[in-house]
Amino acid sequence: MANVRPKADAVIVGLGWCGSLMAEELTRAGLNVVAIERGPWFETSTDFPPSVDTDELRWDTRRSMLLPPAIETTTFRNNRSQTALPTRDWSLNELGYNVGGSGTHWAGMAWRFLPFDFEPYSFTLKRYGKQQITEGLIVQDWGVSYDDLEPFYERFEKIAGVSGKAGVLNGQKIDGANIFEGNRKSEFPLPPLATTRLTDLFTDGSKKLGLHPFMVPAGQASQAYTNPLGVRMGPCTYCGYCLYYGCGNFSKSSPNACVIPALMQRSNFTVLTESAVLRATLAEDGKTATGVTYLDRNKKEWEQPADIVIFSAFQMQNVRLLLLSKIGKPYNPETREGVVGRAYSFQTVSGANLFFEDEQLNQYIGAGALSAQVDDYNGDNFDHTGKGFIGGAGILVVARGARPIGNADAVPPGTPRWGSEWKKAYTHAFQNGTFIFNQGTSFSHDECYLDLDPEYKDANGDPLIRVTFDYNENDRRMARFTEDRAVEIGKAMGAKIVNGFDSAAVNYGPYLPASDHTIGGAVMGLDPKTSVLNRYQQSWDVHNVFVLGASSFPNNAGYNPTSTIGALSLWTAKAIIDQYLGKRGPLVEVPA
Amino acid sequence: MKRRHSLASIALGGLALCGVVGLVLAAETLTQPGQQTDSAQGVKAPATTEDPAVARGRYVAIAGDCAACHTDPHQGKPFAGGYALQTPFGTLLASNITSDKNTGIGAWTEAEFTRAVREGKGRHGENLYPAMPYNAYVKVSDQDMHDLWAYMQTVPAVDNKVVSNQLPFPFNIRLMMMGWNLLFFDKTPIVPVASASAQINRGAYLVQGLGHCAACHTAKNFLGGDKGGAFLQGGELEGWHAPEITGNPAVGIGGWTPAQVVQYLKTSSNDVAVASGPMAEAVTNSTQHMTDDDLQAIAAYLQSLPGSDTAKAQPLAASDPVMQRGANVYSANCAACHNSDGKGINQLAAGFGNNPGVQAVNAQSLMTTVLQGGRGAVTLDNPTSGAMPSFAWKLSDEQVAATLTYIRNSWGNAAPAVTAKQVADTRKDLKLPAQLSIH
């Protein structure tokens, strides 16, 4: 017999970026909101102050801030002819396990997607025709355009304190910034981060090739900042302990630094920590959810009744919650019917390893998003005619800081693995070794999907998510093309050794972390036959359920996803407040 | 006597100083960030038909910071008591002053209430202990007391029986307070000083009376009474040093502008100091909700007091080995937030240069903060407010002493050095661990 909490106006599952942004909007609109977070409460000065931050072994090598696979993991196979097995070790699925979610440990790259990324089908059809789309590739429009989201990107960037320089500002292209970006109505809230030797080398090299380099928009405050919620951030100290680490300096954009201090002051907001939601509960007619069922930290089962249910639990878990709650029709890869679990994608990565001769990269300096990039080969920014693929990659260098354990293997090929030669190469590489990273688009395929594993279960007896995924031909062609571009840039930078690499040349595998951006499975769209959510991220089937996160993306852009996730969450919040509260029904009519 | 402001103008004043950055009107229904329905524990936003005496009384309760003791910070209901005050003589539990007839003051008369607050007498004539600062509240005007009573009667009743007197023998004998009162209870009501401005008189009224600042900021003698001739020149309490808050330019706030004083009280920090420790609660529950006029009056009055004759010392030379050791430890451990130039991060990490609190002769607060960590006061204006991690596990007594000595003598500062022994004693009193051994 379950215990029952008092009813809330809205229950939010997972208090990361999406959950905290939604909670801030809804509580400010007067709703009584309960957030349920599986992980523990995090306090900057107690859990990750600067005095314990700079510990590579603890936070990076041992991933102390991430969700341990023992608590929940996925099973994996490349295709349906194989049997999926559990991913038992740290893998490319890097989920948060704390208040703040992955937003606490992320690198901070704060991108807007391109207009193309939201309407890839329309753009491709118009420019190249249907023949440009390879067999089985899933290419579909999202139902929202870049212009729809522009004001919400702006609000997210202001809340997060993003440092950058506008490249296209009110129709004007600005030299030295990203001239390929979607049109912005305002500047970034903070100026870009300072450049380093590495970003300078990349900028000079790519300019020589006629490309258009710029500093990447960064979720690290370039100076002291007060955001629209009154929250204070400190200036980044370029300490180099960013990705996988919390920021003790209040400098990295995170829910903990940017939203939660304001949120916790509101008497109409409650967060239950160390409480794991199992599923949503549905009314008898299945048309609405009545709330969620969760386990508290003593594994006691509770009900949290609510009028609105928000799933904001990270991409994998959102899909899992939908399947376990029986919301929406699961995807069947044989019949190609159903939608939940369909359109799963990733990130396609290639690039080049570089070793200079006599450089001083000073890689103890770093910040998660301290990078220079060219977008000339990203998205649809170049002519794909005759190339046999769509999409592209952001090509960048990453001055994220080098650390002793992680760099042990970052030596030129042929270096002995131990001894005095290794030591010499290791020392030399600290000032001379780096890489160019191509962060490429990823399109899904009819054969790639998520479902519930038939055999493996978690500690509560619920099936794990099974990932069936491999790179498709479209993305492999794109990776080879951009690998060659990276090699060109590396040579133009003056590197002595330039070795291209292509992660998509082999089968995808969870232990090959080309990237950690896991995308789709509960996608938004215009047609309930090919999407789980409508353009407001509202379930087509259960109108009081909204799903926030990268699970909504039908395809991945050549960028990191966080700002887009944040903008979409704010977009959905506005739809809930302005439209749903008065209507309490589907916001989009099902197309005939 | 100056007119008290209605709560409406307080709320507006609070919002105006929230420092709201221009918002993107993505949603037309955006309200001002930081706008709350409850501004402090026990204080609800007023209904429009509220009796003005109740509204004024709520403000009096805020200025007097009754909630500081009478609302248990651990999930206690407003004014329901039960909070344990640690005094040098033992523990007292704050009483239940809700309108509950059995366990609160619901059955009291206004006269009994006034006698308790201003004269330190309980309902049956028994002596109250001056942990209840009646020796300051004696200065509160009749009008304010009347309004306060009107407000207290609206505080929702909470059934919570509290036995306040938990002191050990012989301090638990209330009759003993008769002697204390004879020695230290100055009953003279406040008289406006004719030669001073209305603003200074208002400030004096607030500081000496409702604000009861002397309770912490004036040193006490061994019997717990205020030391003579030391008004607001600094006091100790439970591991903290409450600094001098007179116009003394070296160790008081004489070097600050009035605006800096007001900003500190309103938002919990200015560009130098961050309110933490016991002062954090006073800002969060009391001063952040007071009107700008009242805060300016407090600033004017405090800065008008000449204070102690502690002059600025000669700073230790930077070449001194202790200073060099401190500089080293500082750059590795402190500079990330407090900056290599000692300027800190505005409203997040305190600045050290020309910071009177940092230069107080008594370095107790500094040692406590470094060893134990600290949390800036959270206000409507500053929900982050910054926090300081504990360094007890990371630094030795010598390292802490050297670093504090360095901070107290750099960037224009000058103050006596801190010794390793002082740090060791503090570590012991706070029951903090020793530095992790390096094996």
In this prediction, residue B30 carries a pLDDT of 28
Say yes or no to pLDDT of B376 above 50: yes
In this prediction, residue B31 carries a pLDDT of 29
> Between residues 354 and 393 of chain B, which touch chain A (CB distance below 8 Å)?
373, 375, 378, 380-389, 391
DSSP 8-state class, residue A75: E
Show residues of chain B in contact with A249, CB under 8 Å.
Answer: 336-337
C-alpha torsion angle, residues A243, A248, A254, A255 (rounded to 10) = 140
Q: Which residue has the higher pLDDT, A150 or B82?
A: A150
> Between residues 171 and 200 of chain A, which touch chain B (CB distance below 8 Å)?
186
In this prediction, residue B6 carries a pLDDT of 35
Tokens of A258: 């940017």
Average pLDDT over residues B229-251: 91
> Bridge partners of A445?
A137
In this prediction, residue B48 carries a pLDDT of 59
First-last CA distance in chain A: 43
How does DSSP assign B160-224, residue by residue?
Answer: -----EEPPTTTT-GGGHHHHHHHH---PPP---TTS-HHHHHHHHIIIIIT-THHHHB-B-TTS
Question: How far, in Å, CA of B40 to CA of B50, rounded?
Answer: 18
> Between residues 565 and 584 of chain A, which touch chain B (CB distance below 8 Å)?
570, 573-574, 577-578
Show residues of chain A in contact with B30, CB under 8 Å.
Answer: 28
Cα→Cα distances A288→A1, A302, A311, A321, A450, Å: 22, 19, 14, 15, 24
A456: left (phi over 0), alpha (psi -120 to 50) or beta: beta
Q: Mind listing the pLDDT tens digit for each residue in B297-343?
A: 999 999 999 999 988 889 999 999 999 999 999 999 999 999 999 99
Under 8 Å between Cβ of B261 and B303: yes
- For residue B225, what pLDDT band results from cuts at 50, 70 and 90? confident
Question: How far, in Å, CA of A19 to CA of A404, rounded?
Answer: 36
Average pLDDT over residues B102-112: 94
Query: Is any Cβ of chain B less than 8 angstroms from the Cβ of A223?
Result: no
Under 8 Å between Cβ of B274 and B357: no
Say yes or no to pLDDT of B249 above 80: yes
Which residue, among B384, B388, B390, B394, would best test binding to A if mutated, counting the most A CBs under 10 Å from its CB?
B384
Q: Is the dihedral of CA B276, B278, B284, B287 positive or negative?
A: negative
Show residues of chain B in contact with A240, CB under 8 Å.
Answer: none
Query: Is any Cβ of chain A less than 8 angstroms from the Cβ of B433?
Result: no
Under 8 Å between Cβ of A271 and A15: yes
Q: Is the dihedral of CA B149, B155, B161, B165 positive or negative?
A: negative
Nearest chain B CA: its distance from A248 CA (Å): 9
Q: What is this structure's pTM?
A: 0.89
Under 8 Å between Cβ of A428 and A124: no
Say yes or no to pLDDT of B22 above 60: no
In this complex, do B333 and A25 lie within 8 Å of one another by their Cβ atoms? no
In this prediction, residue A504 carries a pLDDT of 97
Of B309, B332, B328, nearest in space to B318 by CA: B328
Nearest chain B CA: its distance from A186 CA (Å): 10
Show residues of chain B in contact with A49, CB under 8 Å.
Answer: 389
Which residue in the list A105, A428, A517, A543 is annotated as catalytic?
A517
Which residue of chain A comes nearest to B395, CA vs CA?
A51
Query: What share of chain B in percent tops pLDDT 90?
Result: 61
Show residues of chain A in contact with B19, CB under 8 Å.
Answer: 226, 230
Query: Is any Cβ of chain A less than 8 angstroms from the Cβ of B312?
Result: no
Residue A467: which residues within 8 A CB-CB, separation 6 or more? A74, A75, A76, A77, A84, A344, A450, A510
> Between residues 23 and 42 of chain A, which touch chain B (CB distance below 8 Å)?
25, 28-29
Average pLDDT over residues B220-243: 88
- For residue B408, what pLDDT band results from cuts at 50, 70 and 90? very high
A152 exposure class (CB count in 10 Å sphere: 0-12, 13-18, 19+): buried
pLDDT along chain A (592 residues), means of 10: 90 98 97 98 91 94 96 97 97 96 97 98 97 96 98 98 98 97 98 97 98 98 96 95 95 97 94 97 97 96 98 97 98 97 98 97 96 98 97 97 91 94 96 97 97 96 98 98 98 98 96 93 98 98 98 98 98 98 95 71
* A517 noted as active-site residue: yes
